Chains A and B, each alone.
Chain A
Amino acid sequence: MRNLKYLKNIATLKLDPGKCTGCTICTLVCPHAVFEMKNKKAVIKDLDACMECGACTLNCQYEAISVDSGVGCAAAVISGMLGRTDAKCCCVQEIKKRC
C-alpha cells in the first residue's frame, strides 16, 4: 500500500546540523522515516511525512531537533477552542495560535 501523506510544507520540524553528532537515535524513533543519515549526520529526507509527534526532539540528547509537537486531532482542536478539557480522542491540547 502506498503511504498516506498529509499536507505539504506545513510541518514545523527543524534540524540543526551543527549540533547533530550523528548518534542515529532520531532515525530509530521516528514512525514516519523522516530522517536519513548522510555523511554521519542526520538530514530531513521527508518533511511532509512528519506528524509532529515530538519523539525525535525528546530523544535527541544533543538538542539538534526542534518541532512544535502536538496531536493532529480535529476533535481536540475544537474542544480546545471551546475551552473544554475533555475530548473524544485521547488528546487534549492548548491551542496557541488560532487561524
Chain B
Amino acid sequence: MKNKYIINTIKFKGKDVPVISWQLNFSDIFGAVKVRLGIKRDHYRINPGLYALGTPDKASHVFVSANYKLSFDSLRSKLKGINAWILVLDTKGVNVWCAAGKGTFGTDELNLRIKESDLAGLVAHRRLIVPQLGATGVAGHLVKKHSGFSVTFGPVRSSDIPDFLKNGLKATPIMRRVQFPLQDRVVLVPMELVTGFKYLLLIIIFFFMLGGLSSTGYSFTTAIQRGILSSILLLSAYFSGAVLGPILLPWLPGRSFSIKGLFAGFIVVPVLFLGFLRSFSLLEIISWSLIIPLLSSFLTMNFTGASTYTSLSGVKKEMCLYVPIQIIGVIGGFVLWMIDRFIR
C-alpha cells in the first residue's frame, strides 16, 4: 500500500494538506533498510509540498525538508510531540545535503513552494527553519527578498531540533558541525559493497578463466583451484577497501583516502599469506602484494563521495597523484600473475 504515513488530510484554501504523525511504522523502517542496502534507492521519494505534522496552527514553526523519504522520516520522528508545518521541496528524491550541492534544494525551489502552498496565508509569522546543510543551495537573503520569509538555519542533525527550539532557535557550535562518527560510516558500508560488486564479480570470473592457463595448455582443475584462491584474495581486497577503509577511517594513517585504503589493504595481506604461503610462488606473492593494497586504495578513495569532509580540490589532487599508481600497480600485479602461470 502507498503513502501509509499519511494519516489524514485537512483543507486549506480548497487544497488538501496531508496530515502526518511522528510515529514511524513498520513500512517506514523496512523501506529505510532497503534504501541502505541499495534496493530501490531511486524511488524513495514523497510528494513535494506542504504537510501538517500533528495539529499545527498559524503560530507553528515551518520546517523545510527534501522529498527524500529518509530525510523526511528522520525529521518528523525527531520532532516528536511538536506540532509543525513541513514544507517539502522537490529534490527528486535526493537528501538535503546532496540536493543542496546540486541546487535542487535551492533558493528558487523554496520560493516556488512558499508561493504554491500559500504559506503567507497559512501562518502568521514569517520564519522558516531550514536545515543547515541546505545552506549550500539556499541563500537566506534571497529567500527573504523574494518571499518575505526569513530563513533560520537549524542544526545539522534533526535529533538536535528539540534542543534548538528550547534554546530559542539558537544552535550551539557542536550542533552546527558535521561529523563523521562510526555509526554514520557503518550505515554507508552496505551501499559501498553493493555498488562495486558487479565489477568485482566480473574480475573474479576473469581470474577464474585465466587461472587455467599454463605453458602446457589449459587445465580446468587448475582454473578452479586458482580461481577459488584468487577470488578469496580479491574479496579480501574488496573487504579492506570498502569495509575496513571506511570503518577505520580516523585511525588509518594519512589524510588522503587513497593512502588510508592502502593501509587497510596492508592489514589483510599478511592474514591471507599465512594460509596460502605454501602453494604460492614468490612471483605470485609479489603480484598479490601489489593488487590487494592498491585495489583497496582505489576502493577507499571512492568513499570520498560518501564522506562528509572532503573537498573537490583535495579529491582531484589525490586522484592525480594516486590513480596512476593504482592503475599501474594493479595491472603490473596482474601481469606478474599471468607470467607466473606460464613459468611454473
Contacts and interface: CB of A to CB of B under 8 A. Distances in A.
**Chain A bound to chain B:** yes
B255 A5 contact: yes
B107 to A, nearest CB: 8
Contact of A28 (B98, B132, B308, B319): B132
Contacts of A11: 311, 313-314
A56 B311 CA distance: 14
B320 interface: yes
B235 interface: no
Contact of B304 (A28, A72, A87): A72
Given A77-B315, A88-B195, A90-B95, A31 B320 contact: no
Interface residues of B, number: 52
Contacts of A74: 257, 301-302, 304-305, 315, 319
A36 to B, nearest CB: 10
Given A77-B319, A90-B99, A12 B133 contact: no
Nearest to A8: B255
Contacts of B220: none
Contact of A4 (B100, B249, B315): B249
B312 A72 contact: yes
Interface string B144-173: 000000000100100000000000000101
A4 B311 CA distance: 13
B177 interface: yes
Given A7-B256, A69-B136, 19 more contacts: A5-B255, A5-B309, A6-B310, A7-B255, A10-B311, A29-B135, A31-B156, A31-B177, A54-B136, A58-B135, A58-B137, A61-B139, A73-B304, A75-B302, A77-B316, A90-B101, A93-B312, A95-B316, A99-B320
Interface of A: 1-8, 10-12, 25, 28-33, 49-55, 58-59, 61, 68-78, 87-93, 95, 97-99
Top-3 shortest CB links A-B? A73-B305, A90-B98, A70-B312
